[in-house]
Chain A
Amino acid sequence: MMRFDRLSSPGRTRRISFLFEGEPVEAQDGDTVATALLAAGAGATRSTPASGSARGAYCLMGVCFECLVEIDGVPNRQGCMVPVAEGMSVRRQRGAAGVAEDM
């Protein structure tokens, strides 16, 4: 699976730790969820509702919706638009997001 490396030493950038599929992942302050997952070599981060095929980030700028993930229990979040935060819990989005049962 594709790996991404950091260009240089972190400079004055803080390290952040978040969870992906329950496992701790290192990121840097300023990363979005999508770039943090690329840096972590997460590979495919969702499967499609139509056929269940695997997808990963494509445009990273908010137009393609391929980087949809579940963040802190909320499905359908665009990973490339959300800054990663300490302790955040990110999960792959599998197929269509369900409707919460307590509604």
Chain B
Amino acid sequence: MTAVRDLLIVGAGAAGLSAAAEARELGLDALVLDEQPEPGGQVYRSAARVAERRPADLAFLGADYARGAELVAAATGVERRQGATVWQIGPAGRDGSREVLWSEAGTARRVLARTILVASGAMERPVPVPGWTLPGVTTVGALQVALKQSGIYPAGRVVIAGSGPLPLLLAEQLRAARVPVAAILDTTPSGRTAKALPLLPAAALAAPDTLRKGLALLKARDRSGVPVWRHVRDVRAETGPDGALAEVRFRTASGDEETIAADLLALHEGVVPNPQLTRLVGAEHRWHEAQRCFHLVTDPWGETSAAGVYVGGDGGGILGARAAEASGRLAVLSAASRLGHLAETARDFRAAPWQSRLRGERALRRLLDVLYPAPDWIAEPADEAIVCRCEEITAGELRKVAGHAAGPNQAKAYLRCGMGPCQGRLCGLTVTEMIAKARGTTPAETGYYRIRAPIKPVTLDEIASLDSEGAA
């Protein structure tokens, strides 16, 4: 007989850990599965270990990051498995529960759960510029991961190219680590500050501390002595004789071509939900114009159109880590009430402070979305730029078929784009936008790749091991 869990939480970042804490407080039988080796997600990656073993690095990474250790501590007492990669969430059975399959240490396992919270977070938006596949080109987030996970930073000539709060934070961290940043290429289009101004009062009222920190980062960047190029376009990474990155070319605001020698290029054009699990369960998604990606359609508690499946944190739409704590908690409150563990009045009472936080973070995000929009060129890569990194399909090849592909799935059949090991994560949004453009329609109309299990590569050995394995 397989026991049925009240709640399965996928992901142990800000949303998943907060959800686990709420589940414990409410007495739910919950299980957390997280594919990373340690809890914390990306924002709070490794925070608990860094707090314990690398106190000097914790001081370097700052007070906001230290919050991650508190979140891990608050989730103590809930069964949590790290290195557990969920690759299938099945349809709802007659009792409403779903079967979830995951791999852990080379073995596949299963669990039944009455409710599921997908808290698998965000990923950085694909930035298909020529040369983005070269060794030496990473995301800005990857350098953050390296700092948190291992306390390492690039020691050569770094070029940061992108837009948004994360490149500002990285620039400040590299300055503090005395890394010689060769240039910051700010790709934010011109005129955004003026456009964002009307949204400033509401954001300042809701999140004054965050705004103050952001302004401090901007000031620090502009006073750091690092050359900052604004409104940059047409970034491309060029290779040297060893096949790795050698220089970065770009077009300045006045239209001139510039070249900078570089050992490492870090790209960033914002973050987008990691859509694999919510797509897998067939939940309804909706195109979000301001964030230029698909969001989940949910009720006010985060329940998706797939009954009993909730989404919390940035996997549902980008609102940031503080909001993720709130949306994770709210989803569990609704799940507990649905399961009969919590009266609606108690649910609403506990929910109030989190709903208030969520409102504030939304006001802040409306400002950030206007300040740092995904640039239009993201949907118009140069012909020679690789769109699908795995199968090495270029924008030029995609452009040839985009006009008569009914959608991303047909493009996949034509070209194999999206069929490599990353399963479309790094090309999905680009393919959707390019097809929409070629057909003169919208990304909403164009849709996205159909995502099927297993959402991460699994060996046949692992699948075969399911029969002999007990349930968790």
- Please give the residue numbers on chain A whose beta carbons come within 8 Å of chain B beta carbons, in ascending order: 1-13, 28, 30-32, 35-36, 38-39, 43-45, 48, 50-51, 53-66, 68, 76, 80-83
Instruction: Enumerate 24 A-B pairs (CB-CB under 8 Å) in ascending A order.
Output: A3-B156, A7-B151, A7-B177, A8-B54, A11-B53, A13-B53, A28-B151, A31-B149, A45-B135, A48-B392, A56-B135, A56-B136, A56-B138, A56-B244, A57-B138, A58-B132, A59-B123, A59-B124, A59-B142, A60-B145, A61-B145, A63-B425, A64-B425, A68-B421
Partner of B152, one of A39, A44, A55, A63: A39
| B138 adjacent to A59 (CB under 8 Å) | yes
Q: Which residues of B contact A7 (CB under 8 A)?
A: 56-57, 60, 147, 151-153, 177
Q: Is B36 an interface residue (CB 8 A)?
A: yes
Given contacts A6-B151, A32-B149, A50-B391, contact A59 B57 (CB under 8 A): no
Contact B135–A30 (Cβ < 8 Å): no
Q: At the interface, is chain B mostly helix, strand, loop or mixed?
A: loop
B422 interface hit (Cβ, 8 Å)? yes
Beta-carbon contact of A61 and B154 below 8 Å: no
A55 to B138, CA, bound (A): 11
Give me the 4 closest cross-chain CB pairs, A-B, nearest first: A56-B135, A60-B142, A7-B151, A35-B150
Contact check: which of A3, A28, A61 meets B141 at CB < 8 Å? A61
Q: Which residues of A contact B154 (CB under 8 A)?
A: 2-4
A44 to chain B, nearest CB (A): 4
A5–B56 touching, CB < 8 Å: no
Closest-by-CB residue of A relative to B144 is A60
Indicate whether A61 sits within 8 Å of B123 (C-beta atoms), given known contacts A76-B457, A83-B37. Answer: yes
Report the nearest B residue to A58, measured CB to CB: B138
Q: Within the complex, what minimum Cβ distance (angstroms) separates A34 from chain B? A: 9
**Alpha-carbon gap, A55 to B390, bound state (A):** 10
For the complex, would chain A's binding face be called helix, strand, loop or mixed by DSSP majority? loop
The answer to whether A2 and B264 have CB atoms under 8 Å apart is: yes
- Which residues in B have some Cβ–Cβ distance to A below 8 Å? 35-37, 42, 46, 49, 52-57, 60, 83, 85, 123-124, 132-139, 141-142, 145-147, 149-156, 177, 242-245, 263-264, 274, 389-392, 420-422, 425-426, 457
Q: Which residue of A lies closest to B147 (CB)?
A: A7
B426 proximity list for chain A (CB < 8 A): 63-64
Partner of B149, one of A30, A43, A53, A59: A30
A5 in contact with B36 (CB, 8 Å): no
* Docked-complex contact A5 and B135, CB < 8 angstroms: no
Kindly list chain A residues whose C-beta atoms are within 8 Å of the C-beta of B244: 1-2, 43-44, 54, 56
Q: In the bound complex, how far is the Cα of B150 from the Cα of A65, in angstroms?
A: 20
Task: Let me know if B37 and A32 touch, CB within 8 A.
Answer: yes
Chain B CB within 10 A, most for which of A2, A53, A81: A2
Within the assembled complex, what's the spacing in Å between the Cα atoms of A12 and B142?
24
Closest to A30 in B: B49
Cβ-closest chain A residue relative to B58: A11
Whole-angstrom distance between the Cβ of A28 and the nearest chain B Cβ: 7
Measured CA separation A50–B53 after assembly (Å): 42
Q: In chain B, what residue has the closest Cβ to A36?
A: B150
Chain B neighbourhood of A12, CB < 8 A: 52-54
- A59 adjacent to B141 (CB under 8 Å): yes
Q: How far is the CB of B293 from chain A (nearest CB, A)?
A: 14
19 A-B pairs besides A1-B263, A2-B136, A30-B53 with CB distance below 8 A are: A4-B155, A5-B152, A8-B57, A11-B55, A31-B150, A32-B149, A35-B150, A38-B146, A44-B135, A50-B390, A56-B244, A58-B142, A59-B142, A60-B145, A61-B123, A63-B123, A63-B274, A63-B426, A81-B36
Give chain A residues whose Cβ lies under 8 Å from the Cβ of B136: 1-2, 43, 56
| Contact present for A4 and B146 (CB under 8 Å) | yes
Nearest A residue to B132 via CB reads: A58
Cβ contact within 8 Å between A65 and B390: yes
Contact in complex: A57, B150 (CB < 8 Å)? no
Find out whether the CB atom of B55 lies under 8 angstroms from the CB atom of A64.
no
